[in-house]
């Protein structure tokens, strides 16, 4: 027992003394050693160093912690300091103390701002002398290069007196020499730009080694990982204009070879592509393999996608970049070789295009798309042998459709499309990516209303075409145009002739049969001229004008040949009488039953009939002004004439109740 107590006390005393030293070391004023520490740092970094407050620490071994460190730049590299460090911790080599010198084995720079400078296009980087000294075959034992660590730093790049817009934020860097004489580099950080908000644009992680052999280029072997990053952040990093496409990208790559021709191989994963205002399909995406080379001294990059195995891919990409740290110039090219149109349809759905469920698109896409900083997005494509099939079975075909991308706009066509039954039309469309404006032109010599409605509502997703949306049959010839800005509703305009149409009119018992009419469709009004048709057996001619958006009354001039009043009453029966069944009346299921179309009806028209009769009784010719506002109909200035008999008067009709109420006044 005594022997145990004999050794326990010295051990506990030693631990207590060590703990006391660790705790009080930071409290010891070491400012008197500032000059020695500055000299030691200058020897390690080969630069003039100025330090602020100095403290000792023993937590990680004997070390000093220095605040407000300014490391000057080497001569000829500019006037800015090499680095400004908030806190620097320098671990002391114990062996150096026996020789009366301070040497450091490790330097940890916390929250530094470091400038990497290249004095001229063919000059060396400001860190190369330090790296060269670290990799000497027989380094100077009196001034060994310490392991250097950067924590939460900012890494800037300068070329001469010009600072690059690119920098690395939240950087963590470890550089040290291993037992084989290779320089080991471990890095992670967030690329960013000075001309954007202070935030990282992606996250990079790199691990590798740099080795040198006398008489040959330095050899780099490194793996680099771009963690999952939004495409919007990558677009900001490369100063690409936002076109409203969202998604994520991640990449793994390997660098291997001399710095002047580094071999690159890796893969790029792209996921959840969608339009900015839509929700993504979670987990959807594709992987591209790529390879190429990088010339670090010349700042040149050349990579292209590679197909796995022996398969030929219908989509191939290529990226060429130069001066990427000084004055970035780059061009990305996407080549399509018989890309199935069905794949294109899937991509279009991801970015917001709406197609009917079960719709199918066949054909192939060929051509090339390029994006460069100077020219923006350009491209020339051709869609060949394409067909679009709706779920109901109708098929639309076109042999070829050119696609041109210029001036931040996409133009499709003109292309001839063929519908079932042999009818055809020519279509042309353009979309401005920056202003988000869509234009569509449709021109035909003869096309059915049914095909047109299917094209507008299901294929183009533009919504209904005014007037044609009321037609159950008919054909037209002429031109229609559609325009939509951003997320607005869009509208159709046009100039066309409509023939053999059946037109549904609310309040009429049967469709109006329009044999022909010329239509001028504008944004604020629709004008029907040279109108010829029949309501039942009542033939009519005239003009009609209405204002879909303005709330103004419709204007009409109608001329009727022979009008049988009982037939006219039968045609207008849905408006004149809204009789309800017994149960509906008993339980008042629908109030007064006034439909929406009747509430909103607003017509101011001139009518003239050549002959109006009631059975065998004839009233002769009739002319009047009709004002139909909601449930009230007013016939004013009513004039009749038969042989020598003339009459004037007025008629009022109240449709507010289920049965009409008439008020007639006049004289002969």
Per residue in 335-387, pLDDT tens? 988 888 777 776 666 655 656 666 677 888 899 989 887 787 889 999 888 88
| pLDDT tens figures, 112-138 | 999 988 877 667 787 877 777 655 544
Question: Are 44 and 90 found together in one domain?
Answer: yes
Question: Are 325 and 244 found together in one domain?
Answer: no
User: CA 389 to CA 63: how far, in whole Å?
Assistant: 76
| pLDDT tens figures, 201-255 | 678 899 999 887 777 778 899 999 988 877 777 776 666 666 667 778 888 999 9
User: CA 250 to CA 343: how far, in whole Å?
Assistant: 22
Question: Are 30 and 151 found together in one domain?
Answer: yes
| Residue 173, in any domain of the structure | no
Question: Are 359 and 243 found together in one domain?
Answer: no
Question: Are 265 and 326 found together in one domain?
Answer: no
Average model confidence (pLDDT) across the chain: 81
C-alpha separations of 583 from 7, 575, 657 in Å:
108, 21, 17
Question: Are 183 and 290 found together in one domain?
Answer: yes
pLDDT of residue 229: 77
| pLDDT tens figures, 558-611 | 999 899 999 998 998 888 876 655 444 444 555 556 788 899 999 999 999 999
For the record, the structure tokens of 139 come out as 């380094």
| Residue 393, in any domain of the structure | no
| Structural contact between residues 459 and 388, judged by C-beta atoms closer than 8 angstroms | yes
User: Of the given ranges (213-227, 270-284, 418-432, 637-651), which has the lowest mean pLDDT?
Assistant: 270-284
512 Cβ contact partners less than 8 Å away, ≥ 6 residues apart:
502, 503, 505, 533, 534, 535
Domain boundary among 253, 275, 296: 296
In three-state secondary structure terms, 465 is coil
Q: What is the DSSP string of 112-144?
A: EEEEEEESSTTS-BTTHHHHHHHT-SS--TTSP
With a pLDDT cut of 70, the percent of the chain lying above it is 80
Question: Are 38 and 92 found together in one domain?
Answer: yes
| Structural contact between residues 150 and 114, judged by C-beta atoms closer than 8 angstroms | yes
pLDDT of residue 22: 44
Instruction: Give the count of domains, the chain.
Output: 3
pLDDT of residue 101: 66
User: Which residues on neighbouring strands pair with residue 386, listed in sequence order?
Assistant: 398
CA atoms within 13 A on the CB side of 322: 2
Q: Which helix (H) or strand (E) holds 398?
A: strand 395-406
Higher pLDDT, 620 or 593: 620
Q: What confidence tier does 99 reach under pLDDT thresholds 50, 70, 90? A: low
Domain boundary among 274, 296, 318: 296
Q: Which helix (H) or strand (E) holds 344?
A: helix 341-350
Domain boundary among 317, 345, 376: 376
Look at residue 27 and tell me whether its pLDDT is greater than 50: no
Angle, alpha carbons 586-591-592 (nearest 5°): 110
Across the range 467-485, mean pLDDT stands at 93
| Residue 235, in any domain of the structure | yes
User: CA 416 to CA 427: how far, in whole Å?
Assistant: 7
Q: Contacts from 414-420 at CB under 8 Å and sequence distance 24+?
A: 415/383, 419/394, 419/395, 419/447, 419/448, 419/451, 420/394, 420/395, 420/451
CA-nearest of 521, 506, 512 to 539 is 512
User: Of the given ranges (107-111, 162-166, 305-309, 612-616), which has the lowest mean pLDDT?
Assistant: 305-309
Neighbours of 230 (CB within 10 A): 15
Look at residue 477 and tell me whether its pLDDT is greater than 90: yes
Neighbours of 13 (CB within 10 A): 10
| Residue 71, in any domain of the structure | yes
| Structural contact between residues 647 and 623, judged by C-beta atoms closer than 8 angstroms | no
> How many separate helices (H) and strands (E) can be counted in the chain?
11, 33
Neighbours of 596 (CB within 10 A): 8
Across the range 413-436, mean pLDDT stands at 86
User: Of the given ranges (166-180, 223-237, 615-629), which has the lowest mean pLDDT?
Assistant: 223-237
| pLDDT tens figures, 77-93 | 778 899 999 998 888 77
Domain carrying residue 261: 178-296
- How, if at all, do strands 526-535 and 54-57 pair? unpaired
Question: Are 263 and 197 found together in one domain?
Answer: yes
User: CA 543 to CA 556: how far, in whole Å?
Assistant: 6
User: Of the given ranges (10-14, 612-616, 655-659), which has the lowest mean pLDDT?
Assistant: 10-14
Across the range 534-538, mean pLDDT stands at 93
Q: Quick one: how far is CA 520 from the chain centroid?
A: 36
Question: Are 96 and 75 found together in one domain?
Answer: yes
Higher pLDDT, 561 or 396: 561
pTM, full prediction: 0.65
pLDDT of residue 25: 44
Q: What confidence tier does 529 reach under pLDDT thresholds 50, 70, 90? A: very high
| Structural contact between residues 327 and 312, judged by C-beta atoms closer than 8 angstroms | no
Question: Are 271 and 194 found together in one domain?
Answer: yes
User: CA 382 to CA 400: how far, in whole Å?
Assistant: 7
Question: Are 362 and 288 found together in one domain?
Answer: no
| Structural contact between residues 317 and 334, judged by C-beta atoms closer than 8 angstroms | yes
Q: Which helix (H) or strand (E) holds 309?
A: none
| Residue 36, in any domain of the structure | yes
Across the range 501-514, mean pLDDT stands at 93
Question: Are 324 and 263 found together in one domain?
Answer: no
User: Of the given ranges (39-43, 131-135, 312-316), which has the lowest mean pLDDT?
Assistant: 131-135
| Structural contact between residues 158 and 115, judged by C-beta atoms closer than 8 angstroms | yes
User: Of the given ranges (17-26, 323-332, 607-616, 650-659), which has the lowest mean pLDDT?
Assistant: 17-26
Neighbours of 468 (CB within 10 A): 23
| Residue 547, in any domain of the structure | no
| Residue 652, in any domain of the structure | no
130 Cβ contact partners less than 8 Å away, ≥ 6 residues apart:
45, 46, 145
Look at residue 488 and tell me whether its pLDDT is greater than 90: no
In three-state secondary structure terms, 13 is helix
| Residue 439, in any domain of the structure | no
pLDDT of residue 138: 42
Q: What HEC string does 505-536 produce? A: CCCCCCCEEEEEEEEEECCCCEEEEEEEEEEC
pLDDT of residue 610: 92
User: Of the given ranges (156-165, 254-263, 441-450), which has the lowest mean pLDDT?
Assistant: 156-165
């Amino acid at each position: 027992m005594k022997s145990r107590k004999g050794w326990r006390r010295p051990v506990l005393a030693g631990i207590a003394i060590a703990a006391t030293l660790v705790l009080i070391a930071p409290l010891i004023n070491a400012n008197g050693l500032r000059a020695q520490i500055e000299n030691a740092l200058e020897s390690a970094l080969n630069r003039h160093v100025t330090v602020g407050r100095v403290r000792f620490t023993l937590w990680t071994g004997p070390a000093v912690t220095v605040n407000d460190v300014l490391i000057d730049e080497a001569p000829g590299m500019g006037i800015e300091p090499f680095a400004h460090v908030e806190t620097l911790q320098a671990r002391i080599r114990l062996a150096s103390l026996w020789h009366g010198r301070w040497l450091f084995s490790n330097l940890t720079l916390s929250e530094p701002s470091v400038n990497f400078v290249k004095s001229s296009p063919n000059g060396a980087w400001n860190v190369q002398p330090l790296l060269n000294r670290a990799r000497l075959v027989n380094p100077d034992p009196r001034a060994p290069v310490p392991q250097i660590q950067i924590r939460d730093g900012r890494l800037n790049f300068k070329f001469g007196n010009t600072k690059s817009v690119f920098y690395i934020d939240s950087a963590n860097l470890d550089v040290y020499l291993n037992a084989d004489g290779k320089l080991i580099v471990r890095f992670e950080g967030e690329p960013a730009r000075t001309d954007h908000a202070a935030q990282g644009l992606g996250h990079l992680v790199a691990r590798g080694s740099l080795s040198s052999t006398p008489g040959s280029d330095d050899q780099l072997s490194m793996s680099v990982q771009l963690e999952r990053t939004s495409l919007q952040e990558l677009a900001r990093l490369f100063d690409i204009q936002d076109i409203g496409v969202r998604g994520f990208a991640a990449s793994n790559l390997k660098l291997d070879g001399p710095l002047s021709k580094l071999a690159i191989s890796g893969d790029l994963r792209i996921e959840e592509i969608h339009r900015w205002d839509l929700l993504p399909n979670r987990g959807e995406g594709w992987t591209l393999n790529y390879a190429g080379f990088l010339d670090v001294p010349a700042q040149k990059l050349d990579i292209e996608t590679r197909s796995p195995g022996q398969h030929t891919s219908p989509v191939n990409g290529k990226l060429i970049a130069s001066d990427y740290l000084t004055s970035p110039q780059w061009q990305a090219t996407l080549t399509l070789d018989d890309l199935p149109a069905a794949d294109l349809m899937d991509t279009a759905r991801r970015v917001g295009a709406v197609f009917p469920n079960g719709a199918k698109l066949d054909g192939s896409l060929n051509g090339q798309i390029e994006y460069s900083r100077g020219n923006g997005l350009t491209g020339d494509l051709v869609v060949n042998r394409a067909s679009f099939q709706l779920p109901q079975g109708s098929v639309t075909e076109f042999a070829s459709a050119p696609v041109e991308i210029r001036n931040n706009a996409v133009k499709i066509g003109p292309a001839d499309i063929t519908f079932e039954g042999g009818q055809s039309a020519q279509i042309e469309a353009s979309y401005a990516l920056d202003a988000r404006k869509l234009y569509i032109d449709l021109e035909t010599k003869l096309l059915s209303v049914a095909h047109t409605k299917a094209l507008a509502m299901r294929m183009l997703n533009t919504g209904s075409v005014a007037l044609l949306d009321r037609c159950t049959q008919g054909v037209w010839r002429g031109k229609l145009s559609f325009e939509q800005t951003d997320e607005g509703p869009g509208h159709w305009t046009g100039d066309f002739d409509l023939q053999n149409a059946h037109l549904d009119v609310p309040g009429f018992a049967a469709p109006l049969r329009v044999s022909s009419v010329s239509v001028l469709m504008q944004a604020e009004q629709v004008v029907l001229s040279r109108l010829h048709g029949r309501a039942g057996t009542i033939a009519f001619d005239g003009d009609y004008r209405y204002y879909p958006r303005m709330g103004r009354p419709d204007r009409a001039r109608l001329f009727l040949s022979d009008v049988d009043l009982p037939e006219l009453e039968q045609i207008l029966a849905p408006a004149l009488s809204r009789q309800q069944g017994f149960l509906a009346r008993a339980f008042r299921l629908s109030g007064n039953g006034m439909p929406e179309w009747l509430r909103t009806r607003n017509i101011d028209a001139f009518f003239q009939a050549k002959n109006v009769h009631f059975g065998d009784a004839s009233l002769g010719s009739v002319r009047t002004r009709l004002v139909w506002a909601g449930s009230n109909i007013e016939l004013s200035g009513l004039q009749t004439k038969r042989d020598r008999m003339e009459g004037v008067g007025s008629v009022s009709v109240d449709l507010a109740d289920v049965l009409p109420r008439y008020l007639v006044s006049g004289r002969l």
